[in-house]
Amino acid sequence: MADILVYVPETGKHAAEVLTLGRSLGDVSAIAFDAQSAALASEYGAAKVYRVSAEGADDYFVDPKATVLADVARKTEPAAFLLPSTDEGKALAARLAVDLDNGLLTDVTGLDAEGVAEQDIFAGATITTSKITKGFTLATVKAGATEAEAAPSEPVVEDVEAEVAESDRRVRIAESVVEPAGDRPGLAEADVVVSGGRGVGSADDFALIERVADVLGGAVGASRAATDAGYYPHKFQVGQTGTTVSPQLYVAAGISGAIQHRAGMQTSKLIVAVNKDADAPIFSMADFGVVGDLFEVLPQVLEEAEKRK
Amino acid sequence: MNIVVLVKQVPDSGLARQLDAELRVDRNGANNVMGELDEYAVEAALQLKEAHGGEVTVLTLGPDQATETVRKTLAMGADKAVHVSDEAVAGSDALATSKILAAALGRLEWDLVIAGAESTDSGMGVMAHMLAARTGAAAATGARKIELDGDAITVEHQRENGYDVLTASLPAIVSVWDTINTPRYPSLKGIMAAKRKKVETLTVADLGIDPSEVGAGAATTEVLTAADRPERSAGQIVTDEGEGGRKLAAFLAAEKFI
Ligand SMILES: Cc1cc2nc3c(=O)[nH]c(=O)nc-3n(C[C@H](O)[C@H](O)[C@H](O)COP(=O)(O)OP(=O)(O)OC[C@H]3O[C@@H](n4cnc5c(N)ncnc54)[C@H](O)[C@@H]3O)c2cc1C
Ligand SMILES: Cc1cc2nc3c(=O)[nH]c(=O)nc-3n(C[C@H](O)[C@H](O)[C@H](O)COP(=O)(O)OP(=O)(O)OC[C@H]3O[C@@H](n4cnc5c(N)ncnc54)[C@H](O)[C@@H]3O)c2cc1C
């Protein structure tokens, strides 16, 4: 079977998806820099785990890990090397492409055993298929490309001891600030996302969006107009320059549906829109839409949900 | 402090965009504009220049019409520009693009390069790291804030659930998100002044690169097919006449969300 390398950065839904996709193409060899990532790899069916220990790698941005990944790729000559399409995954892939002089495809939404990848371009308006013509299939995989399926395995573990070279100590991570996520599910991982836009009108009124999210067990998102106006913190922004989400249900309230917003939510399974403007572009992609005032419509939804409990 | 800003001309994302018969971005039919995040990169460079002195040079790789985008950056306040324009570049992949940009950077004096975190058309989000690999400069990408203190640069790297504080020594390559600033509009005075600013136009041969190393012929990725996304099957749209919320709740219940 083909040897598929997968970089497993963290224990999340996205990493599990990439492992699942890799498994559909061949035998997965996962590269893990910590115990949690290694555990995720065996939960999702890796045949082999490269368990890397590199003293100090976590203190520096991108470079130390890029060097390790390039070394493993040189040694194993894989059929494919998959990374999640996160900032880090893309940065590592960029380094690999240059270091190995190998083609690169980013944000693939599907990939077959022949190396033919699917990509969404122009904010999803066009779907292309592409392949790499120089080197192995090096690709970053977009969140939501596949459904993660666990397949517990007992992988062969190979320990990799790496030294962090002076030249990889250029950009120091002096501090990592994690802003508390609260009780709701993480935006990128949530099965339900309820987003508010400029139409919500104020920070106080975002409480209504939060209540709807809580009733549906979902995360709260926001459009850029809402984050720019300070109605909701920026880290909850959905879209091209915010988080890309792909939940089972996406509710857009008081959001017009600008292309940059759609780029971050259009692969949602079901889309619901509430907007008082019948011509808002968001309705063209909605599975269910209500033309109306969100302050009338959403409280009624809460009432009904209460009754059905 | 010499800063180079990387700017790419792209088709306006607000209008319909398409690929041409060769499966490349149709740049002729489109209304071409500066990459959205590149405006933030230009603004970041101008603010650093205002605080620390020095010169801002814009570097772009693209067809002749990209001159309009270059003019806009000069009108915003950049000092001069280098425009690499060559038929041979058409169809270049990211590797070739980075090779050309790195060669152009090699001819310039710079302490800091600022790019957009991702372009508006292809949005790969890789250029800053590819250039770091080729030039040996430090790459501190995805910035929502940049601070300079002599030779030391501090960048707040935006993450989904917070941020990392990155520190490095110049020379460095930084890319920026739209959280970093609010780009200025060119003033009338700026537009007039831009006309007198210098734009150097170069071919890839001028950069010491053989044209056969770039363009579609040298590409390491190939687009096989392109198709319009099938329209989402038309949804059910109801107008609220007092029952809209109840109808929505019924839909959510039927789909088992409540
Ligand atoms: C570089 C760049 C990056 C960007 N990145 C993003 C991104 O990542 N995410 C993003 O979202 N945007 C992004 N944008 C901004 C995007 O172009 C839009 O400006 C933004 O999405 C608009 O947000 P909105 O829909 O909330 O606001 P608007 O477009 O103002 O729409 C508000 C909507 O609310 C409706 N409304 C008002 N009151 C009510 C009410 N009481 N009840 C019901 N409906 C009501 C109105 O009819 C209207 O349709 C980006 C732009 C640029 C240039
Ligand atoms: C729809 C589409 C899909 C593509 N897919 C692939 C692919 O999968 N693999 C591949 O190798 N190539 C691909 N290409 C080609 C690739 O986009 C170009 O080579 C491009 O110049 C580099 O990619 P980017 O703009 O996405 O870079 P990004 O890394 O997203 O660009 C980030 C920043 O780098 C700077 N920059 C980028 N290009 C230039 C430029 N020409 N001049 C000056 N500054 C610049 C800008 O500041 C920009 O904001 C694709 C092109 C298109 C149109």
Binned at pLDDT 50, 70 and 90, residue B236 comes out as very high
Q: Where in chain A is the domain with CATH 3.40.50.620?
A: 3-168
Q: Which amino acid is at B144?
A: R
pLDDT of A12 reads 84
pLDDT of B237 reads 97
Query: Chain A neighbours among B 121-180 (CB < 8 Å)?
Result: 121-130, 132-134, 138-142, 154, 157, 159-169, 172, 177-179
Residue given tokens 């996709």 in the structure block: A21
Residues of B in contact with A105 (CB under 8 A): 221
Fold designation for A192-307: Rossmann fold (3.40.50)
User: By mean pLDDT, which of B19-33, B92-106, B147-161, B202-216 is the weakest?
Assistant: B19-33
DSSP characters for B211-252? GGGSSGGG-SEEEEEEEEPPPPPP-EEEE-SS-HHHHHHHHH
Q: Which amino acid is at A121?
A: I
Report the candidate in A77, A85, A80 with the shortest Cα–Cα distance to residue A115.
A80
Atom number, ligand 1, closest to the C-alpha of residue A255: 25
Phi, psi of A137 (to 5 degrees): -80, 100
Residues of A in contact with B133 (CB under 8 A): 94-95, 98-99
Q: Where in chain A is the domain with CATH 3.40.50.1220?
A: 192-307
Q: Is A256 in the pocket of ligand 1 (CB under 6 A)?
A: yes
Q: Which residue among B3, B4, B7, B8 has the greatest number of ligand 2 atoms within 8 angstroms of its CB, and so is best to mutate? A: B8
Would you call A244 helix, strand, or coil by DSSP? coil
The CATH class, in words, for A3-168 is alpha beta
Report the candidate in A224, A218, A223, A220 with the shortest Cα–Cα distance to residue A209.
A220
Considering Cα of A33, then A39, then A43, then A48, what sign does the dihedral take?
Answer: positive
Asked if B245 lies within 8 A of A287 by C-beta distance, the reply is no
Domains of chain B, by residue range, sit at 2-218
Q: Quick one: average pLDDT of B181-200?
A: 97
What are the per-10-residue average pLDDT scores of chain A (309 residues)?
91 91 98 96 98 96 98 97 96 98 97 96 90 98 92 97 96 92 86 97 98 96 97 93 92 96 92 98 96 98 92
Binned at pLDDT 50, 70 and 90, residue B76 comes out as very high
pLDDT of A1 reads 73
Among chain A residues, the shortest Cα distance to B176 is held by: A241
Distance from CA of A44 to the nearest CA of B (A): 24
Q: pLDDT at residue B17 above 90?
A: no
pLDDT of A177 reads 93
Asked if B14 lies within 8 A of A259 by C-beta distance, the reply is yes
**How does pLDDT run across B91-136, given as a tens digit for each residue?**
999 999 999 999 999 999 999 999 999 999 999 999 999 999 999 9
Edge-to-edge, what's the strand order for the sheet holding A172-178? A172-178, B162-169, B152-159, B138-149, B172-176, B112-116, B2-6, B55-61, B80-84, B199-202
Q: Which residue among A209, A224, A275 has the greatest number of ligand 1 atoms within 8 angstroms of its CB, and so is best to mutate? A: A224
Count H helices and E strands in chain A, helices first: 8, 15
**How does pLDDT run across A86-115, given as a tens digit for each residue?**
999 999 999 999 999 999 999 999 999 999
Residues in chain B: 258
Evaluate whether the domain defined by B2-218 bears CATH number 3.40.50.300. no
Q: Which one of B220, B233, B255 makes the best mutation probe of the A interface by having the most chain A beta carbons within 10 Å?
A: B220
Binned at pLDDT 50, 70 and 90, residue B243 comes out as very high
**Average per-residue pLDDT for chain B:** 95
**How does pLDDT run across B137-188, given as a tens digit for each residue?**
999 999 999 999 999 999 999 988 889 999 999 999 999 999 999 999 999 9
Residues in chain A: 309
Measured CA to CA, the distance from residue B23 to residue B26 in angstroms comes to 8
Asked if A304 lies within 8 A of B257 by C-beta distance, the reply is no
Q: Is A239 in the pocket of ligand 1 (CB under 6 A)?
A: yes
* Residue of B157, B221, B255 with shortest CB distance to A105: B221
Q: Which one of A63, A67, A85, A87 makes the best mutation probe of the B interface by having the most chain B beta carbons within 10 Å?
A: A87
Measured CA to CA, the distance from residue B135 to residue B155 in angstroms comes to 20
Query: Chain A neighbours among B 38-77 (CB < 8 Å)?
Result: none
* For residue B171, cis peptide bond before it (omega within 30 degrees of 0): yes
**Ligand with the closest atom to the CA of B4:** 2
The rounded Å distance from CA B127 to ligand 2 centre is 7
Binned at pLDDT 50, 70 and 90, residue B198 comes out as very high
pLDDT of A46 reads 98
